[in-house]
Structure 1
Amino acid sequence: EAVAGEVRLGWDSPVDEVVNPAFIELNGRGGLGWLEGFNELVTRCGFEWVGHPGEDNGELLTLHGRAANIPASRVGLQIDEKPPYAIRLRGELQEKAFKKLDFAIVTELSTEPGRTGFSLHDTLTNQGDYAKEYQVLYHTNFGTPLLEEGARFVAPVKQVSPFNPRAAKELSDWQRYRGPTRDYDETVFNVVPYADEQGQTLTMLHNRAGNLGVSVGFNTAELPVFSLWKNTDTEKQGYVTGLEPGTSFSYNRRYQRPLGLVPKIEPGEQKHFRVSYELLVNSAAVDAVRKRIEAVQAGRDTEIRDEPLVDLSKD
């Protein structure tokens, strides 16, 4: 979680403690064991795969990969001695399996004194001798006080589609949130964002009054697509939304190859992923981000697809 003043960025999961990865059985619950430790503000999904559990090439792929439950091999804290006195927390993850892959991930969180936000920078290196598929998704989760009845999601949207038939029923109101709703469970929408000439784009969640919000910025050359997860169930069940930039959507990997969303990383190659988060503390800050988003949209049309990109009825 992150705290700025009296505002907490995060959410209230029934999983209310940090769970040691040794106690997470990813294969449990039919591949949904990941949920037994799920409570973070930012959850790294990947890097070998992301998406819903299921088989791909004869292997069971568990929910959203292993990265969130791999302990760091090394952790270091650096504080710059010159302005703006940046604070950087860095860790190294090793995602490896004999005959399968040899990935190293250097992950860094950074902020500066006085900043109401933080940045994430991950570097993925393929240390093996063969090109490998990879996927990554930054499952960024917000609850109250940002999430409430009438809260809204804002982004420069090139294309939006429902994840499944359930989401298709709410496509006409996909950017607006409900209050806690018993038996609501979840809906997901697939988003392809517009970006500026440098590939930078910006998304925002703000409360009903529009005087408190958060922005999530990223580069579409690194993270070309975005998932909006709306889990507006009861508060004790987990009232939360996910703003999720990624290389891929949340379908099982086997469904995403035909969509062109399972990239490869060559031997010795590095891939970088950068995401920035900023708390918007008043109406002026929310309005300023809204204007930046409108500038990226630049009057271009949004394609609204009525049908899901993938037919999950055979799954």
Structure 2
Amino acid sequence: MNKSLAASVSPALYSTKANARIFTLTSTEHNIEVADWKIDSTQLGIIDTYFTIEQKTLHGGKQEGSKVIILTSPNGLTITLSPTRGMSIMNVTGKEMRFGWDSPVKEVVNPAFINLESRNGAGWLEGFNEMMVRCGFEWAGHPGIENGEMRTLHGKAGNTPASEVEIEISEIAPYEIKVRGLIKESTFKKADLQTIAELSYIPDTYSFTIHDHLTNHADYPRDYQIMYHSNFSKPLLEKDAQFIAPIKEISPFNDYAQKGLQDWATYLEPTKNFDEMVFNIVPYSDADGYTLAALHNKDANKGVSIEFNINELPYLTLWKNTDTEKQGYVTGIEPGTNYAYTTSIEREQGRIRQIKPGQTIQFKIRYSALMNREAVDTVKETVTNIQGNQNITSIQTPIAEE
């Protein structure tokens, strides 16, 4: 694949940025589907750093036909994402660092093998093992019936193969890499939402950015919801690991979470029969709307931070699932436009947004690996500065009941 081929891709996925190479891996518009593909920095004439980008097609079981794209920076991070699964990030690793978790689901499940309406609308769980999966965009949250239609768990985006996929590599330092995919949620008489989902990464660094553009291609206003379900386990998650964020308001999702409200910000070791606890959070931000949430280990010398803007993503969900390791020992930090209640509850409580015909709305999130105590301390200081003397409102009872 070369730049001239990429130039024929629809303008939504084509960049005219100078000094960049663009490689098209998938295009439904032009009937392009690359199976296995690989390039490294030396092939691009880059000699002052080294990285590789590879696409693999997986075989066997429920992952038959799934594709993964792997960005490898030996002095930074290795990032694996799947265009088959809505551009979800499967895992991220670095030196003694991992973002992700060990789900009982071991394969990169092809959506062709998932029935989202099974298990009373929770069929989504049969493919759930990502470090970051987009919950949305037509709807998100728990399954339920609204207007006679099933709203399945966490929407369709994470189980929608990308219709267009391209990789852009800057040929000038710092050699930023962008992986873009187009996710279409188009249904006759219903939504026509299309999202350009982009991951950008600079080799040799310990941060990456998600930058999504959601466009309503219909002639009518449409609802939208999005939660960036970001999941972490060992080595960050352990007994007495800590969640931190500047918090305006917190409430338990349900009666079970109410029991854990007193020590909601700390974690247990893997604990048999621990059901999931979920907390609804309204974060504070700086004057420009920027805020962050973070998880660090017990010794506060390793962690992850997630930066976002409350004008785009005003709510934050904390999911604590400290069950046994085989069952899935994991916590989720989930910036979003809403909480995880059913669509009917979110609508009743005013957290469902609308996008106008032709309108484009963007969401930007930055993930950073905190590799040492100094990095963790810097994030703590930022949280403290945003919180300032502002009070935390702790609502003792759930704000809704499903």
TM class by shorter-chain length?
A: over 0.9
Which of these residues, 346, 371, 374, is aligned with residue 284 of structure 1? 374
Identical aligned residues as a percent = 51
1:213 — aligned with what? 303
CA deviation vs aligned residue, 1:79-118 (integer Å, no higher than 9, x gap): 1112221010100011011101111100000110111121
- TM-score, with length taken from structure 2: 0.77
The match for 2:93 is 3
The SS at the match of 2:319 is strand
Question: Which segment is superposed worse, 5-14 or 16-25?
Answer: 5-14
Q: Give the residue type in structure 1 aligned to 2:140.
A: V
The equivalent of 2:150 in structure 1 is: 60
Matches within 5 A, 1:48-87: 48-87=138-177
Partner Cα distance (2:94, 2:272) in 1: 31
Any unmatched runs of 5+ in structure 2? 1-90
* 3-state SS of paired residue (2:308): strand
Given the alignment of the two structures, is residue 177 of structure 1 paired with residue 267 of structure 2, yes or no? yes
1:6 Cα shift?
A: 3.0
The amino acid of 1:164's aligned partner reads N
**1:159-308 aligned within 5 A:** 159-308=249-398
Segment of structure 1 superposing worse, 215-224 or 54-63: 54-63
2:311, 2:264 → 1: CA distance?
25
Higher RCO by CA contacts (8 Å cutoff, separation 6 or greater): 1
Q: Any residues of structure 2 matched to 1:13-92 within 5 Å, and which?
A: 13-92=103-182
Q: Which secondary structure state, in structure 2, belongs to the residue aligned with residue 288 of structure 1?
A: helix
C-alpha distance in 2, partners of 1:8/1:53?
30
Q: How many pairs are equivalent?
A: 312
**Letter of the structure 1 residue corresponding to residue 260 of structure 2:** E
Partner of 2:230: 140
Q: Which has the larger radius of gyration?
A: 2
Which of the residues 123, 129, 133 maps onto 2:219?
Answer: 129
Letter in 1 for 2:174: P
Cα distance in 1 for residues equivalent to 2:173 and 2:290: 25
SS of the residue corresponding to residue 257 of structure 1 reads helix
Q: Distance in 2 between matches of 1:214 and 1:37?
A: 24
Aligned match of 1:149: 239
Unpaired stretches in structure 1, ≥5 consecutive residues: none
- Inter-partner Cα distance in structure 1 for 2:248 and 2:121: 33
CA distance in 1, matches of 2:260, 2:365: 28
CA distance in 2, matches of 1:6, 1:73: 35
Counterpart-to-counterpart distance in 1, 2:401 and 2:92: 38
SS in 1 for 2:348: coil
> In 1, distance between residues paired with 2:141 and 2:183?
20
Whole-angstrom CA distance in 2 between matches of 1:168 and 1:57: 30
Q: Give 1:258 deviation, angstroms.
A: 2.6
1:94 is aligned to: 184
Q: CA deviation at 1:311?
A: 2.3
Q: Which amino acid aligns with 2:133?
A: T
Letter in 1 for 2:214: L
Q: CA RMSD in A?
A: 0.7
**Which amino acid letter does the alignment assign opposite residue 360 of structure 2?**
Q
Read off the aligned partner of 1:28 and give its amino acid letter: S
The code of the aligned residue for 2:148 comes to G
In 1, distance between residues paired with 2:114 and 2:299?
39
1:43 partner letter: V
Alignment of 1:100-119 (within 5 A): 100-119=190-209
